[in-house]
Every structure is written in structure tokens, then in C-alpha cells.
Chain A
Amino acid sequence: MNRKLHLKVFRYNPDDPKSQPRMESFHITEYDSMTLFIALTQIRDEMDPTLKVDFCCRAGICGSCGMVINGRPGLACHTQTKDLPNEITLHPLPVFKLLGDLSVDTGTWFRGVGTKIESWVHSNDAAFDPADEEMRMENEVAEQIFELDRCIECGCCIAACGTARMREDFLGAASINRIARFYIDPRDQRSEDDYYDVIGNDQGVFGCMGLLGCEDVCPKHIPLQDQLGIMRRMLTLNSVKGILPKAVINALKHKGCCHEKH
């Protein structure tokens, strides 16, 4: 027998002065291998075409459909209803600006921090010569960079983060991970001082309480805690640069650090 699912969905339309935040119930019949993407699409197509909810790839790769599913941030398209009880409660992600119902403005948020941390490889573009072969790179380094570049900016880690909820200006685990991505990239010519200016403060790594909420919910299983740790060590070492002898610092630097360049 197919289960009857009871979805309780957060509803609110900020463009409508009469709208009050409320929970609305929808009842649907569960099918084999139903995901929340299928369930919510069915609700929108057959019951309420005004439901605001974001889907794009519906394959867990674009990051559009982050929401709070029975109290836990996750991707709706990536979640099968069979793994949930028949009562399912859906809320929009906190921290981000609410656009309506389950839809939040992650795009503006990520663009904002991207600008703040100057999220691009700092190198000399004019030096590119079409006739020349590419700069060589160790495959291992390339793989490490991609491991961090897999972030889909779904916002789940930000939504799960206590600091991010308290401090509006906290950069969040995804951004610190992004910095780490540039830090290990041999093409990026920023110095450690440059990085310090961006994340060596309470908005960055020192604001993090290390409670691991971020890593637990990351649908891409990005090693966020490692990155926070590495960045914190890099910054701490950088700030004692003048005090400790260079040899000691160099020895410490590589400990637990995933690259040999800096």
C-alpha cells in the first residue's frame, strides 16, 4: 500500500501585505522512489500553482533547492520521501533573505561574500599567450583544488551555522572553504597577509565556534572542518611570523596542511 504523505509547508508572500506566515498542509500519495522534488512539483502543478520553491537541475548538482526538511537543512531534490516519516515539515533556509514560501535569495548572498573575499584567482591575465603550452601542475594539486571547488553554494552549511545566525557579517564555512581553494592554488599570487586581511577576524575563521554543524549537513561532503582548521593555523602562524624563527614556522606550516606550496 502506498503511504499518504502529509506535507506541512511554510507559506508567506512578502509582496502581499495581507499575507501572514503560516504552515499549510498538502496531502499526496507516495510513489516508488519519490523525491521531495517530485512531491513539491506535483503540489505546484496540481494543487497550488503559486507555491514558491526553487528547482533547477533536480539532480543534486546545482544547489537551488536547499530547505529545512524536518528541522535539518538539505537538498529537496536529493531527499527521498521513503527516508522520511509520513509527516514532512518544510521551512525555508534561515539566514538568507526570504523571497516567499520555500524560496530564499542565496544568489545575492553568495555574490556578496564572493566580492568581499575577492573570489577569483589573482594572477596576470595579460600574460596569457595563445601560442604557449599551459602552465604545468601536479595532478594531485589539481584534484585537491577541485575537491574544494565542488561546493554548489546551496547554503545548507550557512543555514546550519550558529554563528551565521547571530552575526549577519559572518562569512560562513562555504566562503572559508573558497578561500582555502585559492590558498592552495599555485596560480593565485595573493600573500598570506592578503588572506589575513580577508578572513583573519571575527567575520572569518575566528568567529567560528567549531561545532561542526556545517560539515554535517553539506550534501557534497566537503571537508569543511579541515579547511577551517588549516586556515586558522595558517593565519595564526602568519600573525606570529616576526616572533618565531622561520624554520619553526615552516615546519609547523606543513603539518596537516594539504599542500606543499606555501
Chain B
Amino acid sequence: MQIFYTDVLCIGAGLAGERVAVEAAMAGFETICLSIVPPRRSHSSAAQGGMQAALGNAIMGDGDSPDIHFQDTVKGSDWGADQEVARIFADTAPIVMREVAHWGVPWNRVVAGTHTYYKGGKPFEAEEKKEKHGLIHARAFGGTAKWRTCYTADGTGRSVLNTLDSKCLQYGVTIHDRTQAEILIHDGENCLGCIARCMRTGELRAYFATATLIATGGYGRCYSATTNAVICDGGGQICALDTGLVPMGNMEAVQFHPTGTVPTDILVTEGCRGDGGTLLDVNEHRFMPDYEPEKAELASRDVVSRRMTEHMRKGLGVKSPYGDHLWLDIRHLGVKHITTKLREVYDICTNFLGVNPIDQLIPVRPTQHYSMGGVRTNRDGAAYGLKGLYAAGEAACWDMHGFNRLGGNSLAETVVAGRYIGKQIVKYLKGASVNFTSAALRDAETKLNERIEDIVSGRKGGENALELRAEMRETMMENVFIFRNGKDLQKAVDTLEELHDRANRIALQSNIPGFNPEMSTALRLQGMIKLCQCTAYGALQRTESRGAHTREDFPERNDKDWLNRTLAYWKEGSNMPTLKYEDASPYYELPPGERGYGGGKIIPNELPKKKFEVPKESLENLKEAKSKG
């Protein structure tokens, strides 16, 4: 087996992975990024909308500040967020947006003078200030008090990723694409790197690293309907969970978007409904007002998704070879509106669905979209349980999103966390010396080889990985989706446990020399089932509704019992996760209260007074984060 040695190993080369890599490389450390696909193909490239940072240049963002951004973020999280982290995030986001501008991101800029903008489908005029001409502009996004979302046309993810990838090239970051991490190397205390599989040849390779970062994005492919790329299968989270030492945080917090298209689950923007689009059922009846007489289609994301699912469960969905769906109707908005204001939607419909939204209905259904949960880290991005292991981006539970992340906040998180955590890693490297023991490598290698042998030889049984995967995805869709209840969740927990056992007995259908794509699925599947088990079991235990986690049988947000974060551990040899809990936040700069939208009852908690004080140490850390160092 080929062995590589490096200072920093970034597993994942999306925005988060590459931003950390740039930070380490700029500080002079040798850095290797692993990625399943060439970095620029990472899922981050698909994000169009933009990233939040309180620059306050646009007239509609006038008076914005990191304080307001912080408040929006904490409210959005339904007070599930770590407030120290949300504060670091909000305060450094403007700096990071300017920094990537310095590096080459072509942000859209303020143009002084009068412009026509739209709000709720209605045009209005506003005058951009002369003294802001040429500074970074911002657009509107859901859940924010001000226009705060920096953007580059409709390709924000693409342009920022291009810039960071260029930076990696400039600073000599080594990229190993088509390389998939399979298992972490560790000695029980320190993380020492990973073993990965080359997707060109199928060979295994070892990477020894002083600091290892997991930045592998979300795990949307655990659901059958997701807006995520086909490679978003939680590979990094699985590696961490498999150590038995590193917990996942808040895995039950999964975000669903009402309008994923059918069949390919590509997202069409909320703007369709914002501008007056309606949802219809199989009889072309507009059903949302029956459930939500006041807000109808414009209720919050989770509410609309819930109602749609309820309606389809009554048998009123449209049957299709790809499963049931509903219709989104924007025909009444007219040719002009659709081809200008909703051009992206028009393109997606015509290119991918073969539907012309000007005179045809768009097939949509609620779709998995974002994982708030992931590898639990502390404020500095260091994973719990193993020294030298870090996580950032969607793969992590750094936890500024709590139980619901706001649009535009995740893309911003990748680069803001990437910069901040990158600096913490550099600090760590300066004082670290590790012992790359061959015993630790042998342990990991033996485990992985055994797993591969089992699958190749079929010595434990003849289960088909693709069939198990389909059953897992169906179970998640049916029982751990938008709205949840004890009975369904219990069913999911039981089914998943069974699938977990069956996954021990997977065998390849065909063994070919070199790289075998079937092998990737087979190797990953039990881990994916484990992530699902953490999600389902965490959701079953959490008897309250908070953010995207909605329990029909426990509709209140219960701060008295559940103002906390779920930690899911996986003990070796076990077939179920072990759950522990910790406080949602070390302190509450913003005391728990109403979100100001979404309604719902709150069962309050009496917190001790000192929980509302910001410790001096946190203030000092924040100051340092904003400085040049």
C-alpha cells in the first residue's frame, strides 16, 4: 500500500475543505485534499442563491450589522444553535466575503442610482447610495431582516469555488481527486489520517496526517428524494462515527424543501411561490388554503412541506413512475415574468423536465435538502473524541444552524468556518508532534480489508447493496421525513436495525478487476444505514418540535426538557447508536424566545442568570478572530 505523509489532510474539496486547505497552505504547511470528484465538481458548485454577510452596502441592507445577522441566525435555529459559534460566524462573515473578493470572486456590485426591485411579486423603486457604488451588493433571502445575501448572478457557489480552487493551485495544495476516504487511522487518542480508495484503480492508499479535516458535505442520499448531488452520501461522517469515539451532533435536524422537481429532484426556487405560484393536487385543486387559510403557499418551508406530504398521504398526489408528486402552477404569471424574473426555473423545467412552465404544470414534491447535523466539533472546529481531527462545512455540527439553517447561511458557513477553523488548525500544528504508528495503520487496514473481503467473497451472505439502499431510502422517506411521530419513528428504528444486520452480509453481484463502482456503494452502505439510525433514533427520543424537527405527537418547542443537542455515538459491534445530550449553547446572548414566525407553543425554561453572561475568554477569542493574525 502506498503511504503519503502530510501536515494537513482535508477529506473533501468543496468550499469548506478548500478554504481550510488554503489557510494551511498559506501558513506554509503541506496540505493534501481528497475528493471523490475533481474539486470544482463538488456539490458547492450547485449553490446559486448566495451567501449571507452583513456588509450593509445595498440600500435594502442599510443599517444591517453582524448583531442583526446573529439574531436572525439564532432565531432561525429555533435556539438550537451554539451562540458563541453563531457570534463568531456573524462577526467574521463580512471579512471573509471581502477576502474572497480580494482573491478574485466577481461579486455583483452596487450601482448608484434608482433601481426597480421586487418584493412579494410587486415591483418597487429604491435608490442605491453614491458612496456605496462599486462595493459588494446583496439580495433578499428568507428569514432575514435585511438584504444580506452576497451573490454572483445565479452562480455563487460556482464562482467562489473556482476562486478557492485557484488559490489551492497557487499555494501548491496537492489534490487527489477520485479518491474516497474509507476509514480513519487513529490510536484511540489521536487521529492520524485515513485510508482511502483510488477510484481510478480500486487500490487502497494510506494518508498519515498531523491534522485531519472532514469536509465531505451532507448525507442527503440517505433519502430517496433529495436536492443533493449523487456523491452526498456522508462518507466523512461515517468515517468519524466508525471510530466509536467521535459523536454526531443533532442528526435528527434535517431540512426539507417544498419544491424539488420530479423526477430528478432538482430544486426550483421558493421565488415561484413568493411571486404568486400555487400548489395543485391530482384533481388540479388548490389545496393549501384548505390547510392554511391565511398563508396558504406562503407558510414557512417546513409547514408547506408538511401539508404537501399530508395531502399526498391521503391519496391526492399525482401518480408517476417516479412516485407521487403534486403540481406547481406558475402559468398565470405570464410569459414575461417567467422568462425574466424566473428564468432559472424556466431553464430547469425546459432542460430537465421537458416541461414548459408557461403553459404546463411543474411536477414537485418536498425533498430532502440540507443536513444541520454532522460531526460534532467544539468552537474551534475540533471534533469531540479524537485529537487532531477537525470538521467543517455541511459535514460538521459546528452548530450555528441548530435545528434549522437559513438560506444563504450554509454557503457562508463553509468559507467563514473554513477560514476560522483553518487558523485553529495552523495553531494546533505549530505545537503538535504526533507518532505515526504502524500499529494504528495496521488496525485500520485490517478492518477495511476484512470488510472488502466479505463483500468480494460473499462469505457472509448474498445481500444486494442496491436493494438494501432502496429499502433504506424508502424507510427514511416514509418515516423520518417532514413530519414525524412516535409510531413511524419506531418503525424506522426497527427496520433500519434489520437493514443494518443485513448490510453485514452484502456481496458484490459482479467482481471486475480495477475500480468497480458497485464496490463504492457496497462499502458505504452500512455506514449510511448507521447515519440513518442516528437520525431516526435521535428523532424518536426528541419528544418536542424544534425547527425542522416536527413531531405531530409533541407539537410544542419544549425548552424545559429539550434545550439541548443530541450526541450520537456508535459503540463498536453495536447495532444501535448510543445517545447523550449536552446544552444547546454555552451561554445565551439572546435568551430563548419567539422566532416571530411559524407560530407554535413554547414550554419555557428557567435558566440560571449566569447563563446570560458572555465570558471574557469568548470576547477575547472573537477579537482575535477579527484581527489580521
Within the complex, what minimum Cβ distance (angstroms) separates A10 from chain B?
16
Stretch from A111-119, A199-207, A236-244 forming part of the interface with B: A111-119
Q: Mark A36-50, 1 if CB is under 8 A from B, else 0.
A: 011000001100111
B37 x A149 contact (CB < 8 A): no
A15 x B135 contact (CB < 8 A): no
B354 x A57 contact (CB < 8 A): no
> Does any Cβ of B come within 8 Å of A107's Cβ?
yes
A153 x B40 contact (CB < 8 A): yes
How far apart sit A230 and B92, CA to CA, in the bound complex (Å)? 40
How far apart sit A52 and B302, CA to CA, in the bound complex (Å)? 38
A134 x B158 contact (CB < 8 A): no
| Contact partners of B523 in chain A: CB under 8 A | none
How far apart sit A150 and B153, CA to CA, in the bound complex (Å)? 10
A115 x B352 contact (CB < 8 A): no
Please tell me which one of the listed residues B40, B95, B514 contacts residue A13 in the complex, with CB atoms under 8 A apart: B514
Q: Mark B348-364, 1 if CB is under 8 A from A, else 0.
A: 10011111000000000
Q: Mark B42-84, 1 if CB is under 8 A from A, else 0.
A: 1101100000000000000000000000000000000000000
Stretch from B97-105, B276-284, B478-486 forming part of the interface with A: B97-105
Known: A31-B321, A50-B510, A146-B159. A57 touches B229 (CB 8 A): yes
Stretch from B161-169, B329-337, B489-497 forming part of the interface with A: B161-169
Known: A58-B230, A59-B352, A146-B155. A133 touches B102 (CB 8 A): no
Range for the number of chain B residues in contact with chain A: 35 or more
A33 x B517 contact (CB < 8 A): no
| Contact partners of A105 in chain B: CB under 8 A | 178, 200
| Contact partners of B159 in chain A: CB under 8 A | 146, 149
A136 x B134 contact (CB < 8 A): yes
Within the complex, what minimum Cβ distance (angstroms) separates A45 from chain B?
5
Residues of chain A in range 92-116 having any CB-CB distance to chain B below 8 Å: 99-100, 105-108, 110-111, 114-115
B230 x A50 contact (CB < 8 A): no
Within the complex, what minimum Cβ distance (angstroms) separates A144 from chain B?
8
> Does any Cβ of B come within 8 Å of A167's Cβ?
no
> Does any Cβ of A come within 8 Å of B407's Cβ?
no
Q: Mark B279-315, 1 if CB is under 8 A from A, else 0.
A: 0000000000000000000000000000000000000
> Does any Cβ of B come within 8 Å of A165's Cβ?
no
B470, closest chain A residue (CB): A45
Within the complex, what minimum Cβ distance (angstroms) separates A214 from chain B?
19
How far apart sit A170 and B137, CA to CA, in the bound complex (Å)? 39
Within the complex, what minimum Cβ distance (angstroms) separates A224 from chain B?
17
A153 x B264 contact (CB < 8 A): no
How far apart sit A110 and B163, CA to CA, in the bound complex (Å)? 15
| Contact partners of B110 in chain A: CB under 8 A | 139
A55, closest chain B residue (CB): B230
B158 x A120 contact (CB < 8 A): no
> Does any Cβ of A come within 8 Å of B466's Cβ?
yes
Please tell me which one of the listed residues B107, B231, B515 contacts residue A56 in the complex, with CB atoms under 8 A apart: B231
A120 x B108 contact (CB < 8 A): no
| Contact partners of B136 in chain A: CB under 8 A | 134
Residues of chain B in range 142-185 having any CB-CB distance to chain A below 8 Å: 152-153, 155, 158-159, 162-163, 166-167, 169-170, 175, 177-178
A50 x B516 contact (CB < 8 A): yes
How far apart sit A130 and B38, CA to CA, in the bound complex (Å)? 31
B108 x A142 contact (CB < 8 A): yes
> Does any Cβ of A come within 8 Å of B271's Cβ?
no
Within the complex, what minimum Cβ distance (angstroms) separates B100 from chain A?
10
Please tell me which one of the listed residues A16, A60, A134 contacts residue B514 in the complex, with CB atoms under 8 A apart: A16
> Does any Cβ of A come within 8 Å of B263's Cβ?
yes
A134 x B98 contact (CB < 8 A): yes
| Contact partners of B166 in chain A: CB under 8 A | 114, 119-121
Within the complex, what minimum Cβ distance (angstroms) separates B2 from chain A?
16
| Contact partners of B162 in chain A: CB under 8 A | 149
Within the complex, what minimum Cβ distance (angstroms) separates A178 from chain B?
9
> Does any Cβ of B come within 8 Å of A64's Cβ?
yes
| Contact partners of B201 in chain A: CB under 8 A | 15
Interface size on A, residues (CB 8 A): 74
B169 x A62 contact (CB < 8 A): no
How far apart sit A11 and B184, CA to CA, in the bound complex (Å)? 34
Chain A CB count within 10 A is highest, among B38, B201, B516, for: B38
A49 x B106 contact (CB < 8 A): no
A15, closest chain B residue (CB): B514
How far apart sit A114 and B516, CA to CA, in the bound complex (Å)? 29
How far apart sit A224 and B374, CA to CA, in the bound complex (Å)? 42
A111 x B515 contact (CB < 8 A): no
How far apart sit A178 and B241, CA to CA, in the bound complex (Å)? 41
| Contact partners of A48 in chain B: CB under 8 A | 510
Q: Mark A130-159, 1 if CB is under 8 A from B, else 0.
A: 111111111101110110011011000000
Q: Mark B208-237, 1 if CB is under 8 A from A, else 0.
A: 000000000000000000000111000000
Known: A37-B264, A50-B518, A134-B135. A146 touches B104 (CB 8 A): no
| Contact partners of A82 in chain B: CB under 8 A | 354
Within the complex, what minimum Cβ distance (angstroms) separates A106 from chain B?
7
| Contact partners of A150 in chain B: CB under 8 A | 155, 158
A111 x B103 contact (CB < 8 A): no
> Does any Cβ of A come within 8 Å of B621's Cβ?
no
Within the complex, what minimum Cβ distance (angstroms) separates A36 from chain B?
11
| Contact partners of B106 in chain A: CB under 8 A | 137, 141-143, 145-146, 149, 185
> Does any Cβ of B come within 8 Å of A14's Cβ?
yes
B102 x A135 contact (CB < 8 A): yes
A142 x B152 contact (CB < 8 A): yes
* Selected A-B contacts with CB under 8 Å, 28 pairs: A13-B512, A16-B514, A32-B321, A33-B352, A45-B466, A49-B466, A49-B510, A50-B512, A58-B230, A59-B266, A62-B46, A64-B37, A64-B41, A78-B351, A120-B166, A130-B95, A130-B626, A131-B628, A134-B101, A136-B109, A136-B133, A139-B109, A142-B108, A145-B106, A150-B158, A153-B41, A185-B104, A188-B104
Closest 10 CB pairs of A and B: A15-B514, A136-B134, A107-B38, A49-B518, A120-B166, A121-B104, A145-B106, A139-B109, A62-B41, A142-B106
Q: A56-B43, A142-B109 are in contact. List 16 more A-B contacts (CB 8 A).
A: A14-B514, A16-B513, A48-B510, A49-B466, A49-B508, A49-B517, A58-B266, A114-B166, A114-B169, A136-B109, A137-B107, A139-B137, A142-B152, A143-B153, A146-B152, A153-B38
